[in-house]
Each structure stands twice: as C-alpha cells, then as structure tokens.
Amino acid sequence: MTHADSFPMVRNVGLDGMLVTFADKMTEASNRAALAFRGALENAGWEGVLETSTSLASAYVRFDFAQLPHAEIEARLRDLLSSRDWYAAPLPAGRKLWRVPTVYGTDLAPQLDEAAAAAGLSTEEAVRRLSQSRVRVLTIGFAPGQPYLGPLGPEFNIPRLQQLNPMVPEGALVLAISQFVLFSGPTQTGWRHIGQTAFRCFRPEMAQSFALNPGDEMLFEPVSRDAFEQIRADNADGTGGATCEEIAA
Amino acid sequence: MSLIVNRIGPACTIQDLGRGAYLDQGLSRSGAADLLALHEGAALLRQSPMLAALEMAGMGGEFEATEDTRIALTGAPMQASIDGSPVVWNASHLLAKGQRLTIGAVLKGAYGYLHLGGGIATEPFLGSRSAHLTAKVGRAVAAGDVLPSGPDKGDAGRKLTPAERFSGGLLRVVSSFQTALFDPETLKRFTQTEFRRGPRANRMGVQLESPGEGFAAQGQLDILSEIITPGDIQMTGTGNPFILLPECQTTGGYPRIATVLPCDLPRAAQAPAGGTIRFQFVTLDEAVALHEAFVKDLARLPRRVEPLVRDPHDIPDLLSYQLISGVISARD
C-alpha cells in the first residue's frame, strides 16, 4: 500500500514524547497501523520508555531522555517503522469482543430519529445497520476509559451538532462523523444521543478500573426498554449485561 | 496521627506527583500543579517527595491536630497562624496536639501547600493519592474530613528560600509536533507578545489574554484530535492560548503551538490573575540541559534547608513574652 511521502511521520511531543503518525485522517488502516505499532513498542520493552498510547492515527511514547536520549529513541522508532508495512499489519493479539445490550431511541436516547434522517435512512434501517456494525475501540480519551468507536459506514458521516446537548448520561451511545462515543460519565456533547446502555467504561471503585482497551471490538445489540430496565436494576458489576469473548489472533 | 479539617476553601485537594501511565485509558496525570512545592515540603520535613500533601487553590482552612504533628507550608504564600500566632511560610513547624492551624487567602501566586510529617496517607488509586476532579477521581477536601498522616519522626523548625515563581514571568518552551501548523509570522508574534493570565484558571489549564489578533493555526478546524500532555499551549477556536496543566484532557482537536518545559510549569500554574507571561523558544538540546539542571536543583533542596531562627521581627506576639513587665528584665 502506498502513502504520501510524509507518512509515517516521527515528531516530538514536547520535551519527553515522540509521536508516530500514520495519516492525517482516521481510516481503518491508519488506526490499525497505530494500534499495531504501539503493540510492537510494548513488546520491544525498551528501557527508558515510561508509557505508550494511541490516538486515532498515531502511536505515542513518553520516555526518560536521561536513559534513552532523543536521537536514540528516534533512530529506534525509524528502524521499527521500516521493519514492515504497518498499514498492512494485523491488529495486536489479546483483544476482546463486547456485546452490549442497547436501547435505541425512546426517551432514553432522544436523537435517534434525527440522526437517522441526517443519514438519509428510516429509523428502523438506521437501527438495523448500527446494531450490526462491529466497531473497534479506535482510541480512548477525552474522559477516563471513554472509547471512540468505528468506523461506521459512510452514510453515518453526519456532522456534530451546532448546539451542544446540555447533558447526556453515563452509558450514552452517541453518533457523529462515522463514529460512536460511549460516554464514561455525564457530559455535554455535540454528538447525537442515539442509544443508551448500562455499560460503565470507567469503574474506579473496582479492581479493574477500565473496562476496555484500544483495539477491542463492540457490538451494540438492541434490547427492549423493559429488558434494559431489568439490566439496569441489577448492574453491580457495571457491565450492563454485556458479554465478552476473546478475539482469536 | 491526623488533622481534623474544621473549615476549608472550595478548591483544596490531596495531591502527590500524580499517576504516570494511564494516558492510553484517557486519564491524565493529575498531581500537584506546582511540583516544585512538593519537593520543597519534602526537603523541609526531610521526607520523600513522593508523599502526598494538601493543595490549596487561593484559600486555605482551619485544621486541628489530634496528636503532635510536624507540618510544612510551601508554594504560594498564604496567611498562616497557629492558635492565633502568625507562622512563617516556606518553613516547617510543630503543631502540638489540640492546636489549630489557620491558613487564609493567598498573598501572591495561586496554589499553597500544607504538608504533614509522614505525608497524607489516604488510600491510593492506581498508584497515586492525587485527586483528579475532572475525571471524577477523588473529591475536594471538605469540612469535617480527617487528613490521616503516615508514620513520622523527626523535627520541625526549618525554613527554605523558595524559587520565585508567584508573579508570572518568562516561560521557556519547545516546539512540538503541531508547532509547524503555525506560520513563522504567527510564531514570531507569539514570542513577542506580553500575555496576561486571564480569569479562567484551574487545574486543567490557565487562560492567557493579549490585545490584538489571536494566534490561529492553518487549517485549524480540520485537525485530527491528537495526544495532549501537560505544558502544551493550546490555541482555542478564537486563537487564545491556554497553558494546559495536570488535569488536562488526554486528547483534543485544538492545535498546540508549543510546550512549556517542566521546570517552568510551576511558574505557569502559580501565575496570578493579571500576571504577565512571555514565552521563549529553546532548542530540544537546551531544554534537555535546563531539565537536567532542574532535576539537580531538586536533589539539592534538602541541603538548602536552614534552621528557622526566631528573629524578633518574626514574633508578632512579642508583648506576650512580657519583655516589658519585668519578668524578663535587662538585669536578669
């Protein structure tokens, strides 16, 4: 696969970070490359690396430059980059598939009809397509544990709202620009609220505080309002009735 | 040992050096806004800078010791007294059982710190005791709370001359991965502008204001959301800069023009409203050298601590010593 000369790009992030960027747009391939490269960085286990993470199309590494000087880590990153075609790399192993019971629409998620119309679909057709879209955790950010999920089909490339939603609750499934966000806490947003789950992405009181990892996949399966209320009433573990299985490498 | 909180300002939280490795989960570091103050408090009490302290934004509170407790006061100077007698800031003191420590409003700067001998020993979360209110980790300390402290021994009555950082000034910055989105003319204007700290300032970031045109990047609206780190100077939609602090978001779409060096972040966080701020670019090599010097200075802090000799000028309750009544007379 060929790319513009400038990508992948290696640049510094402030004093103690480096960013390896695979594209200036989020695509399935640029996101996969970022996740795969970060996986390789973690596996390499270089002394002096303090943490790694990914954004939509980049891998980030923070390092102790007293141990691993800038020139040294940059050379190593370029070596690792040239070791393979990262745009064709498989996703890292150890990922999970989550199936999350979801109420689409109703008073719980009042912007479904509006989002379907913006996508040029009937509400029923929008729900059918969204509920069958197996989406990837593209990155986690903005708030603790909160995933950006996608890519959804091009018909869902709908703009963010001009006016912010005053507040959507934890577990809200919101939609814009061919992506979902599953909110980890109540927040204002310019994304349309199309589904409601009882899935808690951030569970600070539990031993495993974060439910998801970048690269995991999710399916938001429709349930009735009644079924959802039963799930919500018995949700001590915070999973909101979700099931989880390993994705075979 | 512990301190009872009788009264407290609205924005006081427990902070340590922060939690370092959860950017991949959308959780920024948190930790003290003025990390230098944590090191100063540790030097005054001869203990580890890893221990947690109480960070007080703007206003302190009233605290009561349940046992004899060593304390230290650092960061932005605030009015402080023990049982009504003023005590010196940037110093360690003994707070005897039952005594009340009163800390008032900040005199200059933004964040003052109260350190306890043995550190504040609340339950850590993901390896740190730092509250992160924007992430809903921990909460502000409230009246009626008890601040438990860890095991402690040692003395008090020491002082330290702090690095001046409470009225704004020059901040050294390095280029970062989005600096090139700003044209050379804008970058030049950025370093030539004298900014004033605006009214919006908290642990997420500090707003800067300047007269005239803003500092927009090319293609600002189409930039993909990218990693944010503390110290980044973010340009909002109006082209006004925000210096991002320990509770910043982990990713965002506003471009960052440069990143403030860690050694100058305490000065950024402590700038008072209206304080002036200027920026100077340094090369990555210069920044590494400045950082190494900063780390060495931190390591040398314990050796800069001196005994707190009570100068008569520091004893405002001089009359209560009865120098005049004859109990202590010139002939004694």
Q: Which DSSP string do the residues of B72-107 spell out, in sequence order?
A: EEEES-EEEEETTEE--SSEEEEE-TT-EEEEEEES
Contacts within 8 Å (CB) and 24+ apart, A205-212 = A206/A237, A206/A238, A209/A144, A209/A145, A209/B25, A209/B125, A209/B126, A210/A140, A210/A144, A210/A145, A210/B22, A210/B25, A211/A98, A211/A145, A211/A238, A211/A239, A212/A96, A212/A98, A212/A137, A212/A140, A212/A145, A212/A147
* Residue A4 resides in a domain: no
A152: containing domain: 96-246
Q: Do A108 and A195 lie in a common domain?
A: yes
How is residue A200 written in tokens? 């808690």
How is residue B157 written in tokens? 């009555």
A 25-44 residues inside an 8 A Cβ radius of B: 25-26
**Looking at the 3D structure of chain A, how many domains does it have?**
2
Lowest model confidence (mean pLDDT) among A50-64, A158-172, B31-45, B105-119:
A158-172
Residue B323 sits at φ, ψ, to 5 deg, of -65, -25
Residue A36, classed as helix, strand or coil, is helix
Match 């197996």 to its residue by tokens.
Answer: A134
Q: Do A70 and A102 lie in a common domain?
A: no
Q: String of b and e for B312-326 (b: at least 16 CB within 10 Å)? A: eeeeeeeeeeeeeee
- H-run or E-run covering B208: strand B205-209
Q: Do A42 and A138 lie in a common domain?
A: no
- Measured between beta carbons, which residues in chain B are less than 8 angstroms from residue A60? 23, 227
Give the pLDDT band (50/70/90) at residue B315: low
Distance CA B162, CA B286 (A): 24
**Predicted confidence (pLDDT) at residue B209 exceeds the cutoff of 70:** yes
Nearest chain A CA: its distance from B33 CA (Å): 18
- Measured between beta carbons, which residues in chain B are less than 8 angstroms from residue A56? 224-225
Our CA angle for B60, B65, B66, nearest 5°, is: 145
How is residue B40 written in tokens? 């100063």
Give the pLDDT band (50/70/90) at residue B312: low
- Measured between beta carbons, which residues in chain A are less than 8 angstroms from residue B204? none
Q: Which of A178, A176, A163, A222 is nearest to A197 (CA)?
A: A222
A144 interfaces chain B, CB cutoff of 8 Å: yes
- What does the pLDDT read at residue A73? 98
Q: Do A54 and A134 lie in a common domain?
A: no
- What does the pLDDT read at residue B322? 44
Cβ atoms B26, A141 nearer than 8 A: yes
- What does the pLDDT read at residue A96? 97
Last residue of a domain, one of A88, A119, A136: A88
A179 interfaces chain B, CB cutoff of 8 Å: no
A 71-130 residues inside an 8 A Cβ radius of B: none
Q: Which of B206, B207, B211, B178 is nearest to B192 (CA)?
A: B211
Q: Do A111 and A212 lie in a common domain?
A: yes
Who among A15, A50, A214 is closest to B262 (CB)? A15
Q: Do A211 and A105 lie in a common domain?
A: yes
Note the pLDDT tens digit of each residue in B249-295. Answer: 999 888 999 999 999 999 999 999 999 999 999 999 999 999 999 99
CB contact under 8 A, A55 and B226: yes
CB contact under 8 A, A204 and B226: no
Cβ atoms B226, B247 nearer than 8 A: no
Helix orientation angle between A28-44 and A70-82, rounded to the nearest 10 degrees: 120
Nearest chain A CA: its distance from B241 CA (Å): 16
Look at chain B and count its residues: 332
Domains of chain B: 2-164+300-314 (no CATH), 168-282 (2.40.100.10)
Q: How many C-alpha atoms does B135 have within 13 Å on its Cβ side?
A: 35
* Residue A169 resides in a domain: yes
A 185-204 residues inside an 8 A Cβ radius of B: 185, 202, 204
Q: Do A62 and A104 lie in a common domain?
A: no
Give the pLDDT band (50/70/90) at residue B321: very low
Nearest chain A CA: its distance from B70 CA (Å): 32
Interface of B with A (CB under 8 A): 20-27, 125-126, 135-137, 174-177, 224-227, 229, 231-232, 249-252, 259, 261-262, 284, 287-288, 291-292, 295
Q: Do A26 and A122 lie in a common domain?
A: no
Which DSSP category does A132 fall into? T
Q: Which of A158, A162, A13, A147 is nearest to A73 (CA)?
A: A13
Q: Do A47 and A121 lie in a common domain?
A: no
* Residue A1 resides in a domain: no
Distance CA B294, CA A121 (A): 60
- What does the pLDDT read at residue B219? 74
CB contact under 8 A, A55 and B24: no
Q: Do A122 and A223 lie in a common domain?
A: yes
Distance CA A69, CA B217 (A): 30
- Measured between beta carbons, which residues in chain A are less than 8 angstroms from residue B137? 144, 204
Identify residue B109 by its one-letter amino acid code. G
Distance CA A133, CA B221 (A): 28
The nearest alpha carbon in chain A to B282 belongs to A15
Give the pLDDT band (50/70/90) at residue B331: very low
- What does the pLDDT read at residue B311? 61
The nearest alpha carbon in chain B to A143 belongs to B26
Q: Which of A225, A218, A171 is nearest to A198 (CA)?
A: A171
Distance CA B131, CA B203 (A): 11
Nearest chain B CA: its distance from A91 CA (Å): 16
Cβ atoms A18, A73 nearer than 8 A: yes
Q: String of b and e for A141-168 (b: at least 16 CB within 10 Å)? A: bbbbbbbbbbbbeeebebeebeeebeeb
The structure's pTM equals 0.92
How much is the CA Rg of chain B, to the nearest whole Å?
Answer: 22
| Best residue of B133, B204, B224, B282 to probe chain A, by most A CBs closer than 10 Å | B224
Last residue of a domain, one of A67, A88, A109: A88
Find how far residue B140's CA is from the centre of its chain: 16
Q: Which of A188, A189, A187 is nearest to A202 (CA)?
A: A187
What are the average pLDDT values for consecutive 10-residue runs of chain A, which has 249 residues? 73 98 95 98 97 97 98 98 97 96 97 97 98 98 94 94 84 96 91 97 92 97 97 95 93
Q: Do A179 and A103 lie in a common domain?
A: yes
Q: Which of A5, A244, A221 is nearest to A130 (CA)?
A: A221
Where does A178-225 show beta strands of DSSP type E? 179-182, 187-189, 192-196, 217-222
Q: Do A134 and A223 lie in a common domain?
A: yes
Last residue of a domain, one of A60, A88, A116: A88
Output the domain CATH number for residue A129: 2.40.100.10
